Every structure is written in structure tokens, then in C-alpha cells.
Amino acid sequence: MEPDKVSYHPNWLRVMFALNIFLTGGLAIFLIVAPNTAATVFSSPAQEPLLSGYASSYMLGIAILSIAGFRSPLKFSPLLFLQAIVKIIWFVGILIPAMVAGPLSTFAIELTAMFIPYIIGDLIVIPYKYIFKK
């Protein structure tokens, strides 16, 4: 499907890619370079370093690919779809069971507050016809 035959808003996509570049990328670099300081700043529980390092590397990968997405928003819009799916899975599979188990930690509330705008923004701007084209 050609870009001119798809209804989408390139600048809205660019906003989401910019958030990934600066917020997600900045946080990922902070978590990779200074994990102990980040844990203190965010009052997060101790993590297995290899697993938390993988999550931070994934976040940085999303941020780096978002640079290309900023230049070619339609072509890289599936990246936003992936991001929305990952965060929705986190909500359903991780957050909801944690809420059922008891009160959430401050860190969990902060993380949830960070994820909600991404999910809403991604779900609004994603050009679904382009992503699911034949």
C-alpha cells in the first residue's frame, strides 16, 4: 500500500518517535550506564542485572530505531505497534496480577504512569491499514 493511499498523520507519528528517542532512550542510557543510581532515583527493587540490562538494551534499541522512524514515520510505524503490544502485555500479564496480589509499590505506579501515555498515543497514531496491508 502506497503512503499516499493510507490515511495517517506523519507529525503525530513523529511525536511518538521523538518520545522514544528522548524519554525512552534517555532512560535506557541512564539504566545501562548507572543502574545502581537509577534504582535509587526510582526507588526500584533490586533486579537481576542481566535481565534488567536486557530490558534496558531493548528500550535503547527502540529509541535508536525511532531515529529512523522520525525520518520515515510510516515505514517504521510497526515499531510503535510492537511497543504498544509489549506494554499492553505488561499491563495484562504483570501489572494486573501485581494489583490483585496487593498494593503496588511506588516504582510500579511510576512505571504505569510512564506507560499509559505511550499506549494511548501509539494506539491513536498507528496507521493500522498500512500495518495490516496484504
Q: What is the pLDDT of residues 40-98, one digit of tens each?
A: 888 887 778 888 889 999 999 999 999 999 999 999 999 999 999 999 999 999 999 99
| Cell digits of residue 125 | 497514531
Query: 101-118 in b/e burial notation, b at 16+ Cβ within 10 A?
Result: eeeeeeebeebbeebeeb
Question: Is residue 105 pLDDT above 90, yes or no?
Answer: no
Per-domain residue ranges for the chain? 8-125
Predicted local distance difference test score (pLDDT) of residue 2: 58
Q: What is the pLDDT of residues 19-44, one digit of tens each?
A: 999 999 999 999 999 999 988 888 88
Strands (E), the chain: none
Residue listed under C-alpha cell 507519528: 13
Predicted local distance difference test score (pLDDT) of residue 3: 55
Question: Is residue 4 pLDDT above 60, yes or no?
Answer: no
| Cell digits of residue 45 | 527493587
- CA distance between the termini of the chain: 8
